[in-house]
Structure formats: C-alpha cells, structure tokens
Amino acid sequence: MATVTFDNATRQYPGNPIPSVDKLNIEIADGEFLVLVGPSGCGKSTSLRMLAGLEEVNGGRILIGDRDVTNLSPKDRDVAMVFQNYALYPHMSVADNMGFALKIAGVDKAEIRKRVEEAAKILDLTQYLERKPKALSGGQRQRVAMGRAIVRSPQVFLMDEPLSNLDAKLRVQTRTQIASLQRRLGVTTVYVTHDQVEAMTMGDRVAVLKDGILQQCDTPRRMYDHPANVFVAGFIGSPAMNLVSAPVTDGGVDYGGHIVPVERSLIGDAGKEVTIGVRPEDLEPAEDGHGIAVTVDVVEELGADAYIYGTTKAHQVDAEGEEETAKPFIARVDGRRPPEKGQVIHLKPKQGHVHLFNSDSGLRIGD
C-alpha cells in the first residue's frame, strides 16, 4: 500500500492544442478511496491511465509512495486495474482468470490457488471457480475482475467505470460491495466514474474535473455544502442546484422577485450581478407573494417526498439594462401534499443555505 501523487501531471495528445489533462495536482493518502468524476471528455480516464502507465505523461510527474513512476512501464508500477468491460478470458475458468497474472509472474501453483481461494471467499465466488465467464451474470463477472486485481496484492487499485455495464439495481448493490471491500482491504484506490451519485456515496474524497482541469478535490460532504465554483455546484447533487444570475440590491440579492438578505461586505466588488444557488431541498414555503413565485410544470412523487419542476421569473442585468426571463426551477416538497400542475407556489431559501458565486469568474463568494 502507498500514497499516490499527481504533481503537475499533464497529457497532451499530438495535434491537439489543448491538454486533455492540464497540470493535475492531487495527493492521495495511503489507503484512501479517491473518486475522479466529471462529464465525458473531462480527462478523468486519461488521468487514471497515466497513473497505470497506459498513457504518456508529457509534463510533471506521478509518484507511488516515494517512487517516481512517470517513465516506468505498467508492469513495474505495482498497480492492478479493473476495466469497464471486465476483460476476462472467455476460454479460461474463473479460477484461471483470477490467477493468470500470478501465473505469468511465475508464482508457485499452490500459492496461486491459495490466493485465488482467499479472494473468492471475500467476493462470494467460491462456488463459481470452475465456471467459464459466459456462465456468469454481469455482476459476477465484475466480481471476478475485482478478484483478479485482489490476488495480485498491489499497492494501488485502479478502477475505470467498473459498474457502467450493470443494470441500475445491481449497480447500487455492487458499489456498496466495492466500497466495503476497499475499507476491509485498506488498499489505496483511484476510481473513475461519470456518475456523481456513485462518487458521493463511495469516495473518501472526490475530485471533480472539467476540460482536463481539476475544479475541486474534497470530501463529499464539504463539496456538497461548499462547492468551489458554479460548475461544481451544478454538477454535484441530484437533482441539480438551482443557479440563477441575479442583480444585487440594497437589501441583498433579488432572486426571482424575492430579496435574499446578503451582507454587502460579503458581495464586495462582485459587481451589479452575482450567481445565486439554492439546492432543491433547501427551500421552504413562503407566504403568498413574499417568496420566489414558481409555476409548477411537473410533479415527481416519490412517496414521503416529491420534486416539483417548474419555472420562475428571474431578473437579469445585461448591457441594455435589467430584463425578466423564465428560468427552470426544482424544489423538494411534502410528498403527501404536493401542489397541482399549473399551480403557482411561493418558496424561499432556508436561512444559511444560499450559495453565492462571482458571475464573471464563477468562483464561490464567502466560505
């Protein structure tokens, strides 16, 4: 087991003027579960492949423990990778698939069998050891791929979207098993996903990337409560945070006709307009006419809770002055007494649950 360090690590493909990963700096602690998350093309899989030695590092360096592995071949890095498509040999049994890397490394047959059986016990695969991959379900195949990584006892586990081929129910079940297994083994793990729910539920820390640039690396709770910028605020959380550009007034910020009290000193030199964000669960009913007026378009009933998807009128400042535009709006309401479609309801942000961002830079205002 070991720490992992990305030190200004950069990957720029030939013919592409913009780096796919641009000066990535992350320090991953020994035994930590770090999740790299972001939209398609953000550089998360490239970052993982750089760590694995499958992609060239054009600038900076990568360390595993105190060892600089930037220019080492994959086999010399002491890492094990779990791929999205399982990458199992169809003609081999489960036991042979799990022990193949050890066989190539010249490990004794008895030792291979011992390690395979130990891993199979951990993953509940003992009864399937003599089967071929085609006789297994998708979830079982993924556990075999995990077993193949475990038997090698690597310093670092690398996982590239290992759950994306599974159905929704199995994905939830398997992500719990992976997180539990990682805690039990205590192996440093770097996990890539595009699913922010997966990232928030599995990681000790989450690193959000966009266009090859690290936006924020923090604990799931800290990232949810204190997003560093507008992109992280909109990306983390399901349903997404309501984000609106709103004019600054004497009493605070005008959010859909409702004045949200904000200290003037906090806004500082942010300008005539700031971006204000409120999560759907951080809204509460307001007296008619005194909150944000939301026209309900869709009601999504989930039992105890319900989500309303609607629109609100937002005041925006442009070069020609202030204008009013309709903006989408999401709120969580009481599932036992949800509003009707077409109804206009009034909501206000809960005290202390408003996020402010600079409209020009997108960076968070305040702590």
Establish if 363 belongs to a structural domain. no
On whether both 244 and 225 belong to a single domain, the answer is no
On whether both 197 and 275 belong to a single domain, the answer is no
On whether both 257 and 224 belong to a single domain, the answer is no
The DSSP-derived string for 284-323 is EE--TTSSEEEEEEEEEE-SSEEEEEEEEEEEEEETTEEE
Kindly state the percentage of the chain with pLDDT values over 70: 95
pLDDT of 132:
93
Give per-residue pLDDT as tens, 146-204: 899 989 889 999 999 988 888 888 888 888 888 888 998 899 999 999 998 899 999 99
Would you state the structure tokens that stand for residue 334, as one six-digit string? 């009481």
Give per-residue pLDDT as tens, 115-126: 999 999 888 899
Domain that holds residue 263: 240-358
Cα–Cα separations (whole angstroms), residue 278 to 95, 141, 268, 329, 346: 51, 41, 20, 10, 14
Would you state the structure tokens that stand for residue 106, as one six-digit string? 């010249």
Given 202, 231, 260, the domain boundary residue is 231
Mean pLDDT of the chain: 89
pLDDT of 304:
86
pLDDT of 288:
66
Given 204, 231, 258, the domain boundary residue is 231
On whether both 206 and 138 belong to a single domain, the answer is yes
On whether both 206 and 269 belong to a single domain, the answer is no
CATH number reported for the structural domain that contains residue 88 in this entry:
3.40.50.300
pLDDT of 255:
79
On whether both 258 and 116 belong to a single domain, the answer is no
- Tell me how far apart the alpha carbons of residues 305 and 334 are, in angstroms, rounded to a whole number: 5
Categorize the per-residue pLDDT at 241 as very low, low, confident or very high, splitting at 50, 70 and 90: very high
Give every CB contact of residue 343 below 8 A, 6+ residues apart in sequence. 295, 296
Give per-residue pLDDT as tens, 22-77: 999 999 999 999 999 999 999 999 999 999 999 999 999 999 999 999 999 998 99
- Tell me how far apart the alpha carbons of residues 281 and 347 are, in angstroms, rounded to a whole number: 11
On whether both 112 and 247 belong to a single domain, the answer is no
Would you state the structure tokens that stand for residue 34, as one six-digit string? 């770090």
How big is the chain, counted in residues? 367
- Tell me how far apart the alpha carbons of residues 280 and 330 are, in angstroms, rounded to a whole number: 6
On whether both 171 and 303 belong to a single domain, the answer is no
**Which of 169, 159, 167, 175 is CA-nearest to residue 138?**
167
On whether both 192 and 287 belong to a single domain, the answer is no
